[in-house]
């Protein structure tokens, strides 16, 4: 049994490296997973890379199998797809998803992995954590038949939310982003697109995911009276300002947060984290989600790739990391 691995670590804010690591031998009920692909969660991981996690949120922002502490050194990430090399007989050889950092092999309890359905290719399954966040957001938003909806922010999360919302009967869904290139992604997902200045107003519901102050302001402007903005953006240590003294009160608007750390209380009673993840993976049988993967690099290139993502030199949505055996 090969118990050697290579792991991506943030050595200090803005500086990363790949380290050789030795794994503990798996015990009863554990699995040894060889990674096939991982995905970079652009918003959260670039914020971590810059050292932008507020001290008050260090505990709340910990990933399930994170090592080290914020701001650094820390091993962080949570979009990993691999093949089980050792473990319970019904899992050996299966492709699984796990909320694990970028690492070539790892040992975790079997309960920490979710089997990827046969209809979902491994290279697309890296989006499971993103679609899981979108599922929770839609549960939080609670759209009704015929709702007029905007999703402001065409990143990984915003596009995933729009792709799920457009499946609701009778709704009007528009993806709003300042980048005209997002129109092509919206088209692939079957969603209407608009630049912020052209977006349709009088919305019953707006989901905001741009992580910008202008985006949140525009979200409020797009609401009909008594409409709701569901805020998905994570601002880290940045402060934003909103004009809550203008029409916010007279129009009885609502601004509500959504966060994937807990299963939405608006979900059906009894839904668990495992149920939510399994649902996200089933939804990924739709090949339209391939439009969210806009780049790929080898694992050894990740220390050079993440700075480019953080600085905006490397554009796109989900950046996929490819692993080789060993």
Q: Write the pLDDT tens digit of every residue in 229-268.
A: 999 998 877 889 998 888 899 999 999 999 888 999 999 8
pLDDT of residue 60: 87
Closest by alpha carbon to 113, among 130, 100, 126?
Answer: 100
Q: Is 279 part of any domain?
A: no
Q: Is the pLDDT of residue 283 over 50?
A: yes
Residue 43 pLDDT grade (very low, low, confident, very high; cuts 50, 70, 90): confident
Q: 228 and 297 share a domain?
A: no
Closest by alpha carbon to 298, among 1, 2, 6, 3?
Answer: 6
Structure-block tokens of residue 73: 């050194």
Global pTM reads 0.92
Q: 244 and 290 share a domain?
A: no
Cα atoms found within 13 Å of the Cα of residue 262, Cβ hemisphere only: 7
Q: 97 and 152 share a domain?
A: no
Predicted confidence (pLDDT) per residue in 74-100, tens digit: 999 999 999 999 999 999 999 999 999
Q: Is the pLDDT of residue 3 over 70?
A: yes
Q: Rounded CA gap, 201 and 119, in Å?
A: 38
Helix (H, G, I), strand (E, B) or coil at 7: strand
Q: 61 and 164 share a domain?
A: no
Q: Is 89 part of any domain?
A: yes
Q: Rounded CA gap, 115 and 2, in Å?
A: 22
- Taking residues 16-22, what's their average pLDDT? 97
Residue range of the domain that includes 109: 4-127+284-322
Q: 173 and 68 share a domain?
A: no
| Structure letter (DSSP) for residue 88 | S
pLDDT of residue 10: 97
First to last CA, the chain: 11
Closest by alpha carbon to 316, among 8, 39, 38, 18?
Answer: 39
The tally of domains found in the chain comes to 2
* 301, burial (CB in 10 Å: exposed 0-12, middle 13-18, buried 19+): middle
Residue 59 pLDDT grade (very low, low, confident, very high; cuts 50, 70, 90): very high
Residue 48, beta-bridge partner list: none
Residue 35, beta-bridge partner list: 82
Q: Is 77 part of any domain?
A: yes
Q: Is 317 part of any domain?
A: yes
Residue 325 pLDDT grade (very low, low, confident, very high; cuts 50, 70, 90): low
Q: Is 276 part of any domain?
A: no
- Taking residues 190-215, what's their average pLDDT? 97
Q: Which of 207, 238, 257 is the last residue before a domain boundary? A: 257
Q: Is 171 part of any domain?
A: yes
Q: Is 301 part of any domain?
A: yes
Q: Is the pLDDT of residue 291 over 80?
A: yes
Helix (H, G, I), strand (E, B) or coil at 162: helix
Q: 146 and 109 share a domain?
A: no
CATH number at residue 299: 3.90.180.10
Cis peptide leading into residue 71 (ω within 30°): yes
Task: Please say whether the dihedral angle defined by the alpha carbons of residues 137, 141, 144 and 149, taken in this order, is positive or negative.
Answer: negative
Q: 152 and 123 share a domain?
A: no
Q: 72 and 174 share a domain?
A: no
Closest by alpha carbon to 208, among 226, 221, 225, 197?
Answer: 221
- With b for 16 or more beta-carbon neighbours within 10 A and e for fewer, the 180-198 pattern comes to eebbebbebbebbbbebee
Q: 153 and 230 share a domain?
A: yes
Q: 113 and 218 share a domain?
A: no
Q: Is the pLDDT of residue 326 over 50?
A: no
Q: 79 and 109 share a domain?
A: yes
Q: Which of 257, 274, 308 is the last residue before a domain boundary? A: 257
Predicted confidence (pLDDT) per residue in 207-235, tens digit: 999 999 999 999 999 999 999 999 999 88
Residues 6+ apart with CB under 8 A from 4: 20, 21, 22, 23, 105, 326
Q: 149 and 228 share a domain?
A: yes
Q: How many CB atoms lie within 10 A of CB 12?
A: 12
Q: Is 263 part of any domain?
A: no
CATH number at residue 246: 3.40.50.720
């Amino acid at each position: 049994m090969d118990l050697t691995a290579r792991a991506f670590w943030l050595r200090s804010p803005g500086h990363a490296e790949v380290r050789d690591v030795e794994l503990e031998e798996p015990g009863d009920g554990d699995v040894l997973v060889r990674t096939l692909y991982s995905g970079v969660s652009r918003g959260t991981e670039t914020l971590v890379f810059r050292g932008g996690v507020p001290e008050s949120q260090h505990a709340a922002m910990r990933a399930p199998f994170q090592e080290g502490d914020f701001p650094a050194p820390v091993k962080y990430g949570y979009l990993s797809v691999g093949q089980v090399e050792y473990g319970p007989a019904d899992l050996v050889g299966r492709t699984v998803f796990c909320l694990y950092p970028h690492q070539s092999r790892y040992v975790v309890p079997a309960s920490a992995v979710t089997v990827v359905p046969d209809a979902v290719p491994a290279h697309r399954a890296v989006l499971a954590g993103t679609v899981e966040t979108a599922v929770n957001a839609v549960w939080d938003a609670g759209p009704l038949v015929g709702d007029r909806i905007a999703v402001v922010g065409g990143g990984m999360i915003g596009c995933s939310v729009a792709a799920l919302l457009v499946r609701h009967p009778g709704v009007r869904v528009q993806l709003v982003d300042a980048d005209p290139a997002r129109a092509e992604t919206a088209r692939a997902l079957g969603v209407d697109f608009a630049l912020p200045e052209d977006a349709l107003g009088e919305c019953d519901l707006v989901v905001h995911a741009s992580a910008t102050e202008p985006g949140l302001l525009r979200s409020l402007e797009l609401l009909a009276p008594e409409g709701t903005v569901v805020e998905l953006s994570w601002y880290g240590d940045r402060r934003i300002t909103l004009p809550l003294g203008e029409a916010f009160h007279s129009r009885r608007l609502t601004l509500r947060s959504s966060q994937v750390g807990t299963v939405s209380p608006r979900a059906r009673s009894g839904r668990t984290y495992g149920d939510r993840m399994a649902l996200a993976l089933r939804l990924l049988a739709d090949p339209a989600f391939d439009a969210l993967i806009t780049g790929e690099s080898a694992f050894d290139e990740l220390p050079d790739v993440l700075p480019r993502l953080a600085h905006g030199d490397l554009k796109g949505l989900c950046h996929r990391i490819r692993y080789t055996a060993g």
